[in-house]
Amino acid sequence: MTSKKTEKYQMILEGALKVFAEHGFHKSQVSKIAKAAGVADGTIYLYFKRKEDLLICLFREKLGELVQKFEDSVRDIDDVKEALHKVCEIHYTELENNVDLAHVTQIELRQSSMELRREIGMAFKPYIVLIENLLVKGVQQGVFKPDLDVKLVRLLLFGAMDEVVTSWLISGRKYSLAGQVNGTIDFFLKGIAR
C-alpha cells in the first residue's frame, strides 16, 4: 500500500525532474510531466496540491538526499579543513554527475516567486547550517580565525560554490566541475592576498 503510493509519488517526481530540467518550470506543462511519469494528469493532483508543489517537493527530496550525503561524509572527519574540502567535492561532483538535478537547482528553482524563494531558502538551511557548524568547529579548534563572522562567511562560501556551478552549467559544461575543488578550497582557506 504505502509502497505503491510512494511508487507513483516517486515516478511523478522523476518525471518532473526530467521535464523541468529540459524545459524549465514555466514552460513545463503538467500534462507533459504526467506523460513523462506515466500517469494521468489528474493523478498528479492526488499527490501534489499545485504545480508549484512539484518543484518544492522535488527540491526538498533531492536536497534532503544531498544534505544527508554531506552529513554522512563529514560526520567522521575531525579535520575541519578536510571536511570543508569534502563538502565542496561533494557539492561539485554530485551536480556534475546529475545534470538534470543541477539544472533544477541552479536554474529552475530560481524561477519562482518571492514566496517560493523563501521556501527554498528554508530548505537550503540545513546545508548552510552544516557549513556553519564546520566553521564554528574550526574556530573552536583554532584552525580558523577566532573573529570569523560565521553568519557572513557561510553565505560567502555557499554563494561562491553556487556561482561556480551555475557558470559551469551555463557555459555548456565544457570543463570539469570537480576539477575546481582545489582552487575553490584554496581560495576559501587562504584568500587571494599573497
Residues 18 and 37: their CA atoms lie apart, in Å, by: 9
When the beta carbons of 50 and 72 are compared against its own copies, the nearer one is: 50
Looking at residues 99 to 158 of the shown chain, list those that interact with DNA (rule: CB under 7 A).
Answer: none
Cβ nearer to DNA, comparing 48 with 144: 48
Residues 6+ apart with CB under 8 A from 71: 130
Residues that bind its own copies (CB under 8 A): 24, 26-27, 81, 107, 110-114, 117-118, 121, 135, 138, 142-146, 148-149, 152-153, 155-164, 166-167, 170, 180, 183-184, 187-194
Name the nearest CA neighbour of 191 among 155, 156, 164, 163: 156
**Minimum Å distance from CB 126 to DNA?**
27
For DNA, the binding residues in 26-65 under the rule CB under 7 A are 27-31, 39-47, 50-52
Smallest gap, in angstroms, from Cβ of residue 167 to DNA? Answer: 28
Instruction: Rule CB under 7 A: say whether 178 interacts with DNA.
Output: no
Query: How many angstroms separate the first and last alpha carbons of the chain?
Result: 62
Q: Name the nearest CA neighbour of 20 among 9, 5, 33, 7.
A: 33
Which CB sits closer to DNA, 8 or 137? 8
For residue 133, how far is the Cα from the chain centroid? 18
Residue written as grid cell 536536497: 63
Which CB sits closer to DNA, 4 or 190? Answer: 4
Residues 6+ apart with CB under 8 A from 141: 80
Decide if 148 contacts 59 (C-beta within 8 A).
no
- Taking the C-alpha atoms of residue 55 and residue 120, their distance in angstroms, rounded to an integer, is 10
With respect to DNA, which residue has the nearer C-beta, 25 or 168? 25
- Residue 78, binding choice from DNA, its own copies, none, Cβ under 5 to 8 Å by partner class: none
In the complex with DNA, the residue whose CB is nearer, 37 or 169, is: 37
Contact 93, 85 (CB under 8 A): no
Residues at the site binding DNA, with contacts judged by CB under 7 A: 4-5, 8, 27-31, 39-47, 50-52
